[in-house]
Amino acid sequence: MAGGEQTHITAEAADFIEGVSFDALPVEAVRIARRCILDGLGLYVAGSAEDAVAMLAAEAADQGGRPDALILTLGERRAPAPLAARVLGTAGHAHDWDDSQVSRDPRHAYGLLTHPTIPPLTAALVMAQRLGGVTGEALVAAFVAGVEVECKLSEWMRTDHYRRGFHSSGTVGTFGAATAAAVLLGLKGRALRNALGLAASFAAGLRCNFGTMTKPLHVGRAPENGVTAALLAARGYEADPEALDGPWGFLAVTGGGHYPEKPAQGFGRSWSIVDPGVSIKPYPCGIVTHQSMDAMLALVREHDIKPPEVEHIRFFAGSNILDPIRYPVAADHLQAKFSMAALLAMIVIARRAGRAEFTDSFVQSTEMQDMQRRISCERDPAIEALGMDVIRSRIDLTTRSGETFTRVADERYRGGPDRPMTDAELEEKTAACVAGILDDARRQALIAAAWGVTGLADAARLARVIQTG
C-alpha cells in the first residue's frame, strides 16, 4: 500500500464479482472474449504434446479423486477440478504463446504485464465440468470477470512486483481464476471475500524458473489454486476479508503497494479486455521479442538472405528486452523462448518460429547452434534513453560478402490492439497450434465451438473439443 492510505480494493472487487452477468457485458467485451477463448483452446491442444503436461497428467491420474473434469491428454480419465486445472493451465502456457495484457502506462517498463486468458478460462472450463449445466453465456461472463480482476490488479500494482522476481501470470492469475470459479459457484458476501483472501496466500511464481518446465506450471498452479480457493470458501473456509489491502496484504507485500490514483478506475467501469485490451501472440515466446523477430523476418525476406550467407548479426536493444531475454545461446527449446540469439536464428534459418521450431531437436541442431553463435546482443544507450514505453530494437546483418543490412523494429506490436490479427489470422494460428494433433474435422469443430460459445447450452463441450488421448 503506497503512502499508508486506507484502501478497500478487496471489498470493491467482491462487489464487482457479485454483480457480474452476461447481459451486463459490453458487446465488444464479448467479441474479444470469443477471440481469446479460441486462442486459448488452440493453445491447450498445442501444449498437450509437451513432456511437462504428460507428467502432470500422469500425476493427476495417479492421485485420483472426485471425477470432476477431464484430464487433458488422457481421454475419458477425470480428476478433481483443481488437479485437472493444473494440467490444463500448464498446457495453455507451455509454449508461451498465450495472449498478453496491454498497459499504456509508461511506468510499466515491460508494458505487457500478465497473460490474462489461461488462468480464468481454465478455471471456468473445469468448473463448468464439475457443476454441469453451465451455459456458454455463463462461462463467458465468468471468464471476462476473471480477466477484469486479474488485469486491474496487475495494472494497479507497482512494477516492483515483477522487478522483485514475481511472475505475474502465476501470481495475479490466481485472482483471475478464483474470480471465474467464484462467479460460477455463485459466491457472495463474506464467502467471496474469503476466496480472494485464500487466493492472496496461494498466489505464487518466481521468474528464476523462466526457461524451465516450471515457468508454465506457474500458470497451471494459478487456476489450480484459484479453483481451490473458491471451493474452500464455498465450504465456509475463512481468510482475511481484506487480503488485497493493508500493510500485510497482497499488493503491499509482493509489489510494494499500488499506484495510488489507479484504484479509482474501479472494476468493470472500463473493461480491461476492451481498453487498453489484450495482445494475441504471433510467436510462442516472450512478447518483448516479437517486434524484433518481425524485423528479422522482413530483413531476410526483403534481401533474400540465406543462412550460409550470414557472417554476423548484431542486435541492439534496451534493458526491457535484454534483461528478461537472458540466455546468450539456447541449449533447448525452453531456453530458446528467452534467448534473442535463438529467436533470430530461427527466423534466419526457417523464416518462421512456431511449434515445429520450438523443439529440442531443432534448437540443438548444428545449424541452429552455429547460427546462434553468429549473433551478438548489445545494450544500446540511445535506445535505452528513449524510455521503456514501447519495445525498440535494431538489427545489423553483415553477410560473408561484406554487405551490411539494417532494420529497425516496428514499434507497433503485431497482434496488439493497434495492429490486431484478423479473425482469419487467428484461425490460422489455431491451425498451427493443433497441427499434427487434431485432424481437420476436429480442428473445425474446435473453431466452431469457440466462435459459437455464447450459444452453447453446456459449456463443458469446450473441454471435449480439445481433449486428446
Mean pLDDT along residues 71-100: 97
Partnered with residue 464 across adjacent β-strands are: none
8-12, 44-48, 386-390, 457-461: least confident range: 386-390
What percent of the chain has pLDDT above 70? 98
Q: State the CB neighbour count (10 A cutoff) for residue 164.
A: 13
pLDDT bin (cut points 50, 70, 90) of residue 113 is confident
Stronger pLDDT, 286 or 284, i.e. the higher one: 284
Query: What are the cell numbers at 418?
Result: 493497434
The CA-CA-CA angle for residues 98, 228, 25, to 5°, reads 55
- Per residue in 354-368, pLDDT tens? 888 999 999 999 999
**Does residue 459 carry a pLDDT above 90?**
yes
DSSP 186: T
- Per-residue confidence (pLDDT) for residue 4, from 0 to 100: 52
Q: Is the pLDDT confidence value at 228 over 80?
A: yes
Average pLDDT over residues 260-284: 95
- If one compares 74 and 102, the residue with the highest pLDDT of the two is 74
Which pLDDT does position 410 carry in this prediction? 86
**For the residues 222-243, what does the mean pLDDT come to?**
98
Average pLDDT over every residue of 148-171:
94
CB 179 within 8 A of CB 233: no
What pLDDT is stored for residue 1 in this prediction?
42
Q: Is the pLDDT of residue 30 over 50?
A: yes
Contact 139, 128 (CB under 8 A): yes
Per cent of the chain over pLDDT 90 is 88
CATH topology of domain 287-408: 60s Ribosomal Protein L30; Chain: A; (3.30.1330)
Asked if pLDDT for residue 2 goes beyond 80, the answer is no
Reply yes or no on whether the pLDDT at 17 is more than 90: yes
| Residue 3, pLDDT score | 42
Answer yes or no: is pLDDT of 320 > 90. no
Look at residue 111 in the predicted model and tell me its pLDDT: 46
- Alpha helix (H) residue ranges in 312-439: 319-322, 333-336, 340-350, 360-363, 366-372, 381-385, 423-434
Q: Cβ distance 272 to 238 under 8 Å? A: no
What is the residue extent of each domain of the chain?
Answer: 2-281+423-465, 287-408
| Mean pLDDT calculated for residue range 25-46 | 98
Query: Tell me: the pLDDT tens digits for 116-152?
Result: 999 999 999 999 999 999 999 999 999 999 999 999 9
Contact 118, 43 (CB under 8 A): yes
Average pLDDT value over all residues in the chain: 95
Alpha-helical regions (H) of 167-280: 168-185, 189-202, 214-234, 250-255
Angle (CA) 92-208-392 rounded to 5° is 75
pTM of the model: 0.90
CATH of domain 2-281+423-465: 1.10.4100.10
Q: What is the pLDDT of residue 110?
A: 54
Question: Of 46-55, 162-171, 412-421, which gets the smallest average pLDDT?
Answer: 412-421
Tens-place pLDDT, residues 398-425: 999 999 999 999 887 889 898 899 999 9
3-state SS class at 311: strand
